[in-house]
Structure formats: structure tokens, C-alpha cells
Amino acid sequence: MKIRLKNALVLPRAGGEIFRGEVQIEDGKIVYAGKQNDRMFFPADREKDCGGNLLIPGFCNAHAHSAMTLFRGVADDLPLQEWLFDRIFPLEDHLTEEDVYWGTMLAAAEYVRGGVTAAADMYFFPAVAAEVLRRSGIAVALCSGDNDVGGGDVKESLAYMQSRYNTYKGKRRLKYIIGLHAEYTCSDALLEGVADLAATLGAPTYIHCAETLKEVGECSVRRSLTPVEYLHKIGFFDEGGIIAHGTYLDKNDIALLADKNITVASNPSSNLKLASGVAPICSLLKNGVAVALGTDGAASNNALSMFREMYLMSCLQKERMKDAAAVPAEEALRAATETGYKALGFDGGEIAVGRDADLALIDLNAPCMQPLSDIGKSLVYSADTSAVLMTVAGGHIAYENGRFDIGETPEDIYKNAAKCVKRLLKEAERGK
Amino acid sequence: MKIRLKNALVLPRAGGEIFRGEVQIEDGKIVYAGKQNDRMFFPADREKDCGGNLLIPGFCNAHAHSAMTLFRGVADDLPLQEWLFDRIFPLEDHLTEEDVYWGTMLAAAEYVRGGVTAAADMYFFPAVAAEVLRRSGIAVALCSGDNDVGGGDVKESLAYMQSRYNTYKGKRRLKYIIGLHAEYTCSDALLEGVADLAATLGAPTYIHCAETLKEVGECSVRRSLTPVEYLHKIGFFDEGGIIAHGTYLDKNDIALLADKNITVASNPSSNLKLASGVAPICSLLKNGVAVALGTDGAASNNALSMFREMYLMSCLQKERMKDAAAVPAEEALRAATETGYKALGFDGGEIAVGRDADLALIDLNAPCMQPLSDIGKSLVYSADTSAVLMTVAGGHIAYENGRFDIGETPEDIYKNAAKCVKRLLKEAERGK
């Protein structure tokens, strides 16, 4: 499939210079990005006049539990413990492959409606999620969220992880990242086992870490080490990787993360809504720790909008630091694009020749984008998903002007997702 | 004009019960809201099938400087003092009526794109703003933002305010609220003069108050009173009214505001982006102070989205109070609708017979609104302006599916707003 996107403004990367021109796509890759050249021969299957609107790199959602869209609106305005233990876990006990199929489909619709072209997805039935997201063209890093809080065989778990890792190894837009749910839901044997596996495979890891004060406090009391110090000590970070959240990190934690080249996937809106806190983004960036952005699951946040995350990443830091100059817009856009891509090891986050064709077309004629005094600032401080006209994921036009091409129709997705939720609620109720 | 909106779900008010039915509008008023009755005779000029989507009360933006849309993106990521004194004030020195016309037109487009049907507008050339917003059907409270920081005749200022007040008195969807910019930009004579004028007219007042720590600290040092204590003492609050911001309020301030029935128009996103702080919403609500929501100007925020304000009002409090149950969604929706309407004295904020026909149609087929487990929560925690299908302001369909009916075309608005900004930047540069 050859696509020509002409008559566009192009923001090639966060903080880059906007130019007027066109982008050509072939076999899912960007083959030209530059001045418009109508004399150039490019036999496009689809030629689109972008009407002077803005092409930007697509967003990477670096921390998500996609199928949790099913639980949007079932447990809001509740204390964290009640939310998780009394509402979410009992529902998840009854999850089937079909639930994950339709929940991830609903997430795919929301992703492409909002310009998301890559995601880290940590959830049940990852093969199902992979298949669903593949149909939208979204690059997906399946992240192991294993734990043995309720028992479980460590060797079996590690063997499963290794086999998954090998299954997906070498694929261009699909990978499996070994890792665990969190320090507080895993035995030492499992945590150390994954650290060893990472060393064996030379593979980075992924884990929820330092999300709440409770987590950090309990670990510190139990181990006389923070979660980051403990994971560092057992070698969990030795091959690099990602921690999700990182809301509570002290100076030493930050130095350890920087030393091991660990990216923090920050989830500002989830951390607010669950009353967890505000991550020390300024300290992380200042000390050389890469910060990516994620939405977390739609049961905790409750939306999959990277616009909201960018706005919050920047503006919560301004308030926290009492400095309106803190985390300028381009830093937030970088976190939402190239930093996430880099952390997941995908080849996007930038509109440049040779990169994967992951991009979004932004409506400069949306009132919130006008006047065009500083488009880069408006992207972060003024826009929301209403400004997304089109999303191209891996060279596939997944969303365009209200139409979705993601493998199922919105009507079928909504109908089936509703059916799944209804059944799950009934089963969770019965299981009490 | 008679409008029939049928086949809808209707959320009649924040926290109310959603019902399936229809709404009929005549001469700008709601004349029916209830079950669909196809045998009822209603000779509508326009009959719209809402496709099962959700009608909600339109939003009231209780604190705005509409024409500041012109300055969106001209001064971001700067410390507050530099932002205001080096960038915004020099631009405002050169404002003309034409600038305010096009800036307010741009705001009108953004308002109706996002479901806003009423606004408190504090800015230069209020008669121009009133005329612009009237063409969208938006109910507008023009708020005096007078100050005498650079000198000025108190008597003249008061006479002007009184004449404005009388000019607009008794109009249904347009009013003038006397008031001042802030305690720190006005002489005692002017502040006391307005307090006396309020008493004479029996009219409520409007003022920026307790926005920043600096303001509260300086006033406390100067007067041995907080701004709220001082204004209360001189009788500024005796006829009720609104303070904008209220970011820093102590226990005594809150008691005084409650005693005088003062509404706080909170602007969470502006307060974040300018690093001002987070208002004590929970304490206000607990102590019986009404809280409305505003966007502030688009130069400080930088969007006119009440969805963002609702999300932040609720979620910033959850984080502040370390309680995920704090400020439930329906409280935020109430602040954005009926509380604002009540504070400004307009007859909307609720879909009920006899009320002004101010409403928005929300797309339940937007991915972010699915599944429909709790629509009221999703409105606050998941939606953004992408979910607004139609905005009806004062019985006028101002926005519908990408089309604006606000007196000028978006093309003309954008072209002219850009021209105004360019001229202002040049003049501000020359004036240095």
C-alpha cells in the first residue's frame, strides 16, 4: 500500500521545526518526508490532500491495560483499596478471551481516535490483544504482568515468559517484554528469576514500581530498601527496561534508574484520579532518566487520551515546582512520542525517511488550535482528541474523519463490549 | 423558532436520573422535557433525531477573558511575572475593538464546539464582546475588571459601572456585573466605592481574589488582613457575588465567603499552568461555599474546555486529599452547569420546562464514552470536546456536527484573528 499525504504542515519530531510539504508511505514505512514535489513519480494507491493541516508523529502509550476499557465507569470515586480489591479483581477473576478481544477492540478504537499508534499492553490473554491491535496497525509491546501473590510455580512462569519472548522475537511491530506485575505481588524467587532471565536473554524488563506511598513504605519496612533499590540490587534493571508510574522516587532511586538506563512510564491522570500522587518528572529529566507517558487502564483514569497525559505531565510539574516554565510543551510531546517509542524499541516517534509510518493528522482548523502562533504549544496545552482528523498506524489508515478501519465496526464493538461487561458484573456478583 | 430534539437520552441535571425521551424548545425556552410522545402536536421548524445520544445542560464558564484567545500560544512556559508584565500587558496596551471582536468570535467558536452556553466575560470593550456572544446565543455576564493601578478617576469609574449596569439590567441573557480586577490593582477608594455601589444597587460583585500566594502574602503584610478579610470588611461581599480563583483561602476566609453567599469560580487548569496552586475545593464545598468552574483566558490555560476543568476539579482534589472518593464526578458536573448558572443569575443549568434552552448533545458512540456503565462518570472522567455533537444556546443551534452558526465563518474568524495578533505583536514590539 502506497500512501501520499500532501499539502500538509509537518512537525517531524518533538521540538523540531515545522515545514510545509508532503509525506510518502510505502509498505508501512516513510519513504519521503519533505517539500511537496508534484513532479516526483509516486504511484500512490491513496493520495490525500491534508488541507494544510498538521502531520505529527503518532503517540506511544507506554503503559496501558487495554482491555480494561470494559471496566470504564464500573467503579469510580472509590478509595483505591475498595476500587481494586472489591471491584476490579472480582471482575478480572471471570475474564475470558472474548472479553479481552472486545475490550481491546474498544481500546483500539479509542487509541486511533486519539492519534495513538503504539502501545505497551499489560493484561490477560496477550495473544488476543496482540491480534486485535495488529488489525489497527498499532505497534504493540505485550508486557508480562505475572505475579504469584496467590501461589504459582516460578519455573513454569519463567518458562512461559521465555517461550513468549521467543515467539515474538524479531517481529517488527510486535514484541513481548518480560517482567512482572510489581515487587509487592511477587515472591523473591520470581523477582530474582526474572532478573536472571533478563540477563540470559539480554532483554529489558517491565514492572509497576513506586506507584503509591503505601507500596514504597511497606517495601522499605520489609526490606530496608525501596522497591527501586531492591530491584536494582537483584539485577532486575541490568538489561534496561521500563518502570510504570515511579510516583515516589527518592534521590538515590533516581540515580539508580539513570545508571541502568531505565525509562519511567509516567501516568499522570491515573495517579491523580486514584489519589496516588504526582511523579517527580523534573528531577527525573534533570538527572538523565527518560520519561515516557502512559494512560494506564481506562478503569482508573478513565480515558486513553495522550493529550490529557501531555497536558498533565507539564502542568502538574509547573504547579509542583511553583515554576510556570517547568517541563515545557515540547518535553511533554517528546515523552508522548519518541521517548515511548525508544523505550519500547519500536521504530517510530519521528516523521523521517526509514521510520515506521506512524502518524496523526491534526486539525489546525479546530478552534482550540487557533491562532497558529505556536502550534507546538497548542498541541500540548490546547488540543484534545477532537483535533485528530486521521491516524496512520504502520502505514494503515486506522481512523479518518469519524471512520474506523480496525477490524470490527464501532457498532459491533460497543454491542459486544456491553454484553461482556454485563456478564462479568453478574458473575462477579454471584462470586461474592 | 421551534425545535424538537427527539430520540435522546436526557440527563436533566448533575446527579439527576437519565431518561429516554425528547426535548421541545420554543422561543429559546424548554417547553417540554420528558418521554417521547409522537402523538403530541408540536409544529417544529427543526426536528432532530438525536440517535439515542445524550442531552445534557450546557456548560457555564464562570470565569473567562474571552478575547484572550488572541494570545493563545504567544507566551507559554514562562514564569508568571514575565508572562504577565513582559508579554500580555504590552499586547493588551494596543487592543482595539476589532481585536476584541475577532478574539471573542474565536472564543465563541471554541465555546460552542465544547458545549458552553453561558459565560462570565471580563475584558476590554465589553459591549463588543456582548454583541459577539449574543450571535452564538450564549448567555453572557459582562464582568467589570476595572482597576486604577495606573491612576484613574474613581468617581468616573463608578459612574461608568453604574451606567453599564443600568444599560443591561433586566435583559434575559445579558447582564453586567459590577466589580474590579483585584484587591492588589485597585486603590482603597475604588474598592470601597464599588462596595458602596453594590449596596446602592443591591447588586452582587465580581473580583479576582486569592489567586496566588504572592497576592495573599502581600495583602496580609500590607493590611494585616487576607484579601477576603479585607473585602469582607469593606462590604464588598454584602450583596453576594463571585470571586475568581480562590486558590489560597484559609478557614476564616472560607467562613466569611459562606456567610456572604459568595461563589468561588475556580479555574483549575489555569492555576496549574501558571503554577499558582490547587484551590481548597473540598473545604469550600464542605463549608457550604458554592463552587463554579471557569477556564480563565486562553493565554494562561490554554483552552476553553469545561471537560478539562471538570476532570481537574475532581481529580486534583482526590490527589490533594489523598482520597480517591473526593469530589465525585457529579459534583464537578454540577459546578460546570447549575452552580455557574445560579451564580451568574441565568436561568439554565438544567433541562426542565421553563428553563432557557441551553444544552449540549453528547456522542455516546465516541469510544471514550463506551461502555455506557455510568454515563455521568464518563462525562467527567473520560469525555473531551470530541464528544460534543451539538450545542444549543438560548434555543439557537450554534454548533452541529462540525458546522458553526455564530455570526461569522471559522475561516473568516481565523484569518482575522491571525491578522489582529500579527498587528498586536508588531505594536507591542515597537512599544518596548
Chain B residues closer than 8 Å to A275 by CB? 318-319, 321-324, 326
Whether A367 sits inside 8 A of B315 (CB atoms) is: no
Residue A46: predicted pLDDT: 97
Residue B156: predicted pLDDT: 96
Count of A–B CB contacts within 8 Å? 217
What single DSSP character describes residue A83?
I
Where in B50-204 does DSSP place strands (E)? Answer: 54-57, 59-64, 116-121, 139-143, 174-182
Matching residue, cell 494507491: A45
Q: How many C-alpha atoms does B327 have within 13 Å on its Cβ side?
A: 33
Q: How far is A416 from chain B (nearest CA, A)?
A: 10
Question: Which amino acid belongs to residue B187?
Answer: S
- Quick check: A295 and A274 in contact, CB under 8 A? no
Whether B410 sits inside 8 A of A271 (CB atoms) is: no
Residue B83: predicted pLDDT: 87
Question: Which amino acid belongs to residue B386?
Answer: S
The Cα A421–Cα B260 span in angstroms is 48
Search chain A and give the residue with CA nearest B314. Answer: A273
Residue B432: predicted pLDDT: 66
Whether B79 sits inside 8 A of A278 (CB atoms) is: no
Annotate A358-374 with b (16+ C-beta within 10 A) or e (fewer): bbbbbbbbbbbbbbbbb
- Quick check: A424 and A70 in contact, CB under 8 A? yes
Whether A382 sits inside 8 A of B72 (CB atoms) is: yes
DSSP 3-state of B62: strand
pTM of the model: 0.98
pLDDT tens-digit profile, chain A (432 residues)? 999 999 999 999 999 999 999 999 999 999 999 999 878 889 999 999 999 999 999 999 999 999 999 999 999 998 877 888 899 999 999 999 999 999 999 999 999 999 999 999 999 999 999 999 999 999 999 999 999 988 989 999 999 999 999 999 999 999 999 999 999 999 999 999 999 999 999 999 999 999 999 999 999 999 999 999 999 999 999 999 999 999 999 999 999 999 999 999 999 999 999 999 999 999 999 999 999 999 999 998 899 999 999 999 999 999 999 999 999 999 999 999 999 999 999 999 999 999 999 999 999 999 999 999 999 999 999 999 999 999 999 999 999 999 999 999 999 999 999 999 999 999 998 886
Environment class of residue A177 by beta-carbon count within 10 Å: exposed (0-12), middle (13-18) or buried (19+)?
Answer: buried
Least CB–CB distance from A277: residue in B110, B319, B326: B319
Across chain A, which distance is largest between two alpha carbons, in Å? 69
The Cα A225–Cα A327 span in angstroms is 30
Q: What angle do CA A368, B133, B241 make, to 5 degrees?
A: 100
Residue B41: predicted pLDDT: 84
DSSP 3-state of B282: helix
Extract the C-alpha cell encoding B61.
464558564
Closest CA relative to residue B59, chosen from B344, B430, B315, B416? B344
The Cα B355–Cα B348 span in angstroms is 6
The Cα A229–Cα A252 span in angstroms is 8
Chain A residues closer than 8 Å to B268 by CB? none
Search chain A and give the residue with CA nearest B78. Answer: A325
What is the four-CA torsion angle of B352, B354, B355, B358, rounded to 10 degrees? 80
The Cα B142–Cα A185 span in angstroms is 57
Q: Domain A2-57+354-404 sits in which CATH superfamily?
A: Urease, subunit C, domain 1 (2.30.40.10)
Whether A421 sits inside 8 A of B275 (CB atoms) is: no
Environment class of residue A200 by beta-carbon count within 10 Å: exposed (0-12), middle (13-18) or buried (19+)?
Answer: exposed
Whether B324 sits inside 8 A of A382 (CB atoms) is: no
Q: What angle do CA A101, A69, A246 make, to 5 degrees?
A: 115
Q: How far is A322 from chain B (nearest CA, A)?
A: 5
Least CB–CB distance from A302: residue in B273, B381, B421: B381
Chain B residues closer than 8 Å to A410 by CB? 365, 367
Least CB–CB distance from B76: residue in A323, A381, A383: A381
Whether B113 sits inside 8 A of A367 (CB atoms) is: yes
How do the domains of chain A map onto residue ranges? 2-57+354-404, 59-344
Least CB–CB distance from A368: residue in B303, B377, B378: B303
Rg (CA), chain A: 21
Whether B301 sits inside 8 A of A381 (CB atoms) is: yes
Residue A68: predicted pLDDT: 97
Helices A188-201 and A154-168 cross at an angle (nearest 10°) of 30
The residues, any chain, with a CB within 8 Å of residue A269's CB and separated by 6 or more, are A295, A296, A301, A303, A308, A309, A312, B311, B315
Residue B328: predicted pLDDT: 97
Whether B318 sits inside 8 A of A272 (CB atoms) is: yes
Residue B260: predicted pLDDT: 98
Search chain B and give the residue with CA nearest A84. Answer: B324
What ipTM score was computed for the predicted complex, to two decimals?
A: 0.97
Topology of the domain comprising B1-432: TIM Barrel (3.20.20)
Closest CA relative to residue A120, chosen from A75, A192, A181, A176? A176
Residue A81: predicted pLDDT: 79
DSSP codes, B207-225: EEES-SHHHHHHHHHHHSS
Residue A432: predicted pLDDT: 66
The Cα A321–Cα A338 span in angstroms is 25
Say if residue A252 is preceded by a cis peptide, omega within 30 of 0: no
Whether B365 sits inside 8 A of A307 (CB atoms) is: no
- Quick check: B428 and B93 in contact, CB under 8 A? yes
Mutation for A interface: B83, B318, B405, most A CBs within 10 A: B318
The Cα B164–Cα B145 span in angstroms is 13
Q: How far is A377 from chain B (nearest CA, A)?
A: 6
Count the helix, strand and coil residues of chain B and give each as a percent rounded to the nearest 5. Answer: 45, 20, 35
Extract the C-alpha cell encoding A406.
480496525
Topology of the domain comprising A59-344: TIM Barrel (3.20.20)
DSSP 3-state of A203: coil
> In 10 A of CB A124, how many CB atoms?
16
Whether A276 sits inside 8 A of B319 (CB atoms) is: yes
Whether B272 sits inside 8 A of A383 (CB atoms) is: no
Residue A148: predicted pLDDT: 95
Annotate B387-425 with b (16+ C-beta within 10 A) or e (fewer): bbbbbbbbbbbbbbeeebebbbebeebbebbbebbeebb
Pairing state between β B59-64 and B116-121: parallel
Extract the C-alpha cell encoding B59.
456548560
Whether B386 sits inside 8 A of A113 (CB atoms) is: yes
CA A305, chain centre distance (Å)? 10
Ranges in chain B, pLDDT < 50:
none
Matching residue, cell 479509542: A110
Chain B residues closer than 8 Å to A314 by CB? 273
Whether A275 sits inside 8 A of B318 (CB atoms) is: yes
- What Cα–Cα distance (Å) separates residue A141 from each residue in A163, A175, A206, A337, B28? 15, 5, 10, 15, 53
* Positive or negative: CA dihedral A274, A276, A282, A288: negative
* Positive or negative: CA dihedral B154, B159, B164, B170: positive
